[in-house]
């Protein structure tokens, strides 16, 4: 039996500043010694990433607070200045004093009534871990040599980074159909293998131990391909998703565009959706870096300040668990840049922009051909007004060896649209929707924005309305609706968009805090500014009229002089 597996990215040496606490990031199940610190009434297990109290219950502790505690436990009884702790926890980075203060507060909260017995603050000098510390090293139990496994299991690698997809050989009722079906499903295999987050294996039968299995019963009837494609849990056989197919075979050359590519996008999306669902039901301490990124991406795409903060915390954990996992840096760049575009997070303005660029660059160093990392780098260059480099990087993300998924297409389209190539951005988004009509609602917002930049505001409105109906708290979509509605004479819709903006971003003004808008051309910026000012003036005029009417309608009645 022959198996095909596309190789992984070449490994890149990790950044030097992550090495200081390497032992704290040992993954559960590895064959290194487990380090446990016992102090006061607590124990900190570095191998399992848990802090436990006297009763053995896990105590909630954020990743940076966990790192702070493990560092202090390594150096008990010493006075640590704030500067020394900054260098230990955020080496080579510039962060605010509040970051360390928050870590200390989180740690004290977890320690509860015993906090003052464990951690002592020396005013204007620093902190001392004052408890006695016992450091215990637990050697792993010998693991018996496993029995011989099928070839598919032998080539399974990086299980915590990429999802395994097993492709079943398609059966044919007649020998005459076998070659045709083999060609079609071979193309599906190749299209799936181009997704960087998947590990794709072609098998001839048997059960898998993890990941997902793609099955199909297919036949050719009267010149049509008729099949049912199933996505199953590889271990249990439970069907997760299915799609019927009835396609004419008149043009085999178009079969890839019409069938294989859309199917590959659907399967990749369904596998990610199921993995995300499973991650939500796992204990937080048991999540791996890829699962943390899946959850973080989901929160980020909801487009609210609370979800953005949640995404950032999840990504900090992912980076602490696996410092070489490039997608974690790319997604963290997405999150941090909202300190510039929306004013959310600890870093604001140019500090947020520069930090996002540093994160995106690091992700691109770790995975230089990753569409996710390249698209994120393109967007950060665009935020820095490095337009030509941004556009070039976006095109690299869209045309490389790996398939650009929904998130990558959305990001690159924003760069192209506001970087002077809106028609190209429209085509990217239209093609994405042809392949995957169930894409997230942000796809429609970006498509609408690209149409606006192309001067096609009437076409933009229907797309923007789809996003607003599904994401009513996504302020960026309401910015676009205001502009498109104003330019098409829909005054009521423009005013409703203005009201939604004030509800979500009180006091927001374009050019002062531009949200997702960073224009290359001054004329485009002026369009948004003029639309906003006109709608705002109309809204203020309406409010004045309403207030005057209320005052007049409640004027007290004059008293009569009659007895």
**Domains assigned to the chain:** 18-138 (1.10.10.10), 154-278 (3.40.50.10610), 286-404 (1.25.40.10), 421-551 (1.25.40.10)
Give the span between the Cα atoms of 509 and 500, in whole angstroms: 13
Average pLDDT over residues 342-356: 88
Question: Where residue 256 falls among pLDDT bands split at 50, 70, 90?
Answer: low
What per-residue confidence (pLDDT) applies to 11?
31
What per-residue confidence (pLDDT) applies to 136?
79
What per-residue confidence (pLDDT) applies to 208?
52
Q: What is the largest CA-CA distance in the chain?
A: 111
- Strands (E) located in 179-290: 198-203, 212-221, 224-233, 239-248
pLDDT at residue 456 tops 90: yes
Pull the structure tokens for residue 237: 């056989």
Q: Which residues contact 312 (CB under 8 A, 6 or more apart)?
A: 296, 332, 335, 336, 345
Residue with tokens 């997704």: 195
pLDDT at residue 140 tops 80: no
Give the span between the Cα atoms of 529 and 547, in whole angstroms: 27
Give the span between the Cα atoms of 164 and 4, in whole angstroms: 13
What per-residue confidence (pLDDT) applies to 561?
42
* pLDDT winner (highest mean) among 8-17, 211-220, 503-512, 525-534: 525-534
pLDDT at residue 238 tops 50: yes
Pull the structure tokens for residue 209: 């131990």
Cα distances (angstroms) measured from residue 151 to each of 9, 89, 190, 220, 233: 21, 43, 20, 31, 19
Give the span between the Cα atoms of 419 and 519, in whole angstroms: 7
What per-residue confidence (pLDDT) applies to 483?
93
pLDDT at residue 65 tops 80: yes
CB count within 10 Å of CB 343 equals 15
The gap from C-alpha 461 to its chain's centroid, in whole angstroms, comes to 26
pLDDT at residue 118 tops 80: yes
Give the span between the Cα atoms of 450 and 427, in whole angstroms: 10
pLDDT at residue 24 tops 70: no
The gap from C-alpha 112 to its chain's centroid, in whole angstroms, comes to 33
SS3 at position 242: strand
Give the span between the Cα atoms of 58 and 50, in whole angstroms: 6
Q: What's the sign of the alpha-carbon dihedral 69, 74, 78, 84?
A: negative
pLDDT at residue 16 tops 60: no
Give the span between the Cα atoms of 374 and 391, in whole angstroms: 11
Q: What's the sign of the alpha-carbon dihedral 9, 11, 12, 15?
A: positive
H/E stretch holding 34? strand 34-39
**Lowest mean pLDDT across 42-56, 148-162, 189-203, 264-278:** 148-162
Residue with tokens 């996002």: 356
What per-residue confidence (pLDDT) applies to 460?
96
Q: Which residues, listed in sequence order, are joined to residue 239 by a DSSP beta bridge?
A: 232
Please state, for a pLDDT cut of 90, what percent of the chain lies above it. 40
What per-residue confidence (pLDDT) applies to 237?
87
Average pLDDT, rounded, for the chain = 80
In a 13 Å sphere around the CA of 345, the CA atoms on its Cβ side amount to 30
**Lowest mean pLDDT across 129-138, 294-303, 305-314:** 129-138
Give the span between the Cα atoms of 103 and 275, in whole angstroms: 31
What per-residue confidence (pLDDT) applies to 253?
60
Pull the structure tokens for residue 31: 């064959």
- Residues 110 and 96: beta-carbon distance below 8 Å: no
pLDDT at residue 55 tops 80: no
Give the span between the Cα atoms of 222 and 228, in whole angstroms: 17
Q: What are phi and psi of 240, to 5 degrees?
A: -100, -35
Pairing of strands 163-168, 198-203: parallel
* SS3 track for 165-206: EEEECCECCCHHHHHHHHHHHHHHHHHHHCCCCEEEEEECCC
Give the span between the Cα atoms of 101 and 16, in whole angstroms: 25
pLDDT tens sequence across 155-209? 333 557 888 888 876 665 555 566 677 777 888 888 999 999 999 988 754 445 6
pLDDT tens sequence across 358-383? 999 999 999 999 999 999 999 999 99
pLDDT tens sequence across 497-520? 999 998 988 887 886 545 567 788
């Amino acid at each position: 039996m022959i198996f095909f597996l596309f190789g992984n990215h070449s490994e890149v040496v990790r950044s030097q500043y992550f090495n200081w606490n390497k032992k704290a990031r040992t993954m559960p199940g590895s064959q290194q010694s487990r380090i446990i610190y016992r102090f006061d009434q607590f124990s900190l297990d570095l191998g399992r990433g848990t802090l436990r109290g006297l009763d053995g219950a896990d105590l909630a502790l954020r990743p940076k607070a966990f790192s702070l505690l493990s560092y202090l436990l390594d150096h008990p009884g010493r006075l640590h200045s704030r500067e020394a702790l900054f260098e230990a926890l955020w080496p080579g980075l510039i962060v605010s004093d509040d970051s360390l203060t928050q870590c200390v507060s989180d740690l004290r909260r977890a320690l509860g009534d015993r906090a003052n017995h464990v951690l002592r603050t020396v005013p204007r000098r620093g902190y001392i871990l004052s408890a006695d510390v016992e450091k215990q090293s637990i050697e792993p139990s010998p693991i018996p040599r496993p029995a011989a496994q099928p070839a598919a299991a032998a080539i399974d690698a990086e299980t915590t980074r990429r999802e395994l997809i097993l492709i079943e050989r398609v059966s044919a009722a007649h020998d005459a159909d076998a070659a045709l079906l083999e060609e079609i499903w071979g193309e599906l295999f190749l299209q799936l293998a181009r997704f960087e987050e998947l590990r794709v294996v072609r098998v001839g039968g048997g059960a898998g131990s993890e990941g997902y299995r793609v099955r199909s019963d297919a036949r050719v009837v009267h010149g049509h391909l008729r099949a049912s494609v199933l996505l199953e849990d590889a271990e249990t056989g439970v069907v997760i998703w299915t799609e019927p197919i009835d396609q004419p075979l008149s043009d085999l050359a178009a079969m890839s565009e019409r069938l294989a590519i859309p199917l590959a996008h659907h399967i990749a999306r369904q596998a990610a959706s199921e993995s995300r669902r499973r991650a939500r039901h796992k204990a937080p301490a048991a999540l791996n870096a890829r699962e943390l990124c899946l959850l973080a991406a989901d929160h980020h795409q909801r487009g609210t300040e609370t979800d953005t903060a949640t995404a950032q915390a999840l990504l900090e954990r992912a980076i602490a668990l696996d410092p070489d996992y490039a997608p974690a840096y790319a997604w963290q760049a997405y999150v941090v840049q909202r300190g510039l575009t929306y004013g959310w997070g600890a870093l604001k303005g140019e500090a947020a922009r520069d930090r996002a660029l540093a994160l995106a660059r690091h992700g691109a160093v770790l995975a230089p051909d990753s569409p996710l990392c390249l698209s994120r780098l393109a967007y950060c260059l665009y935020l820095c007004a490095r337009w030509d480099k941004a556009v070039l990087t976006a095109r690299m993300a869209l045309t490389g060896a790996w398939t650009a998924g929904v998130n990558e297409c959305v990001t690159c389209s924003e760069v192209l649209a506001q970087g002077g190539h809106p028609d190209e951005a429209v085509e990217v988004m239209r093609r994405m929707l042809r392949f995957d009509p169930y894409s997230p609602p942000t796809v429609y917002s970006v498509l609408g924005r690209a149409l606006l930049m192309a001067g096609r505001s009437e076409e933009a409105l229907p797309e923007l309305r789809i996003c607003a109906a599904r994401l009513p708290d996504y302020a960026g979509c309401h910015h676009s609706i205001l502009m498109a509605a104003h330019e098409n004479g829909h005054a009521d819709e423009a005013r409703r968009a203005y009201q939604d903006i004030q509800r979500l971003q009180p006091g927001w003004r374009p050019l002062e805090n531009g949200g997702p808008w960073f224009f290359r051309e001054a004329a485009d910026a002026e369009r948004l500014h003029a639309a906003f000012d006109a709608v705002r003036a109309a809204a203020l005029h309406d409010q004045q009229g309403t207030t005057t009417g209320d005052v007049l309608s409640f004027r007290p009645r004059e008293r009569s002089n009659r007895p």
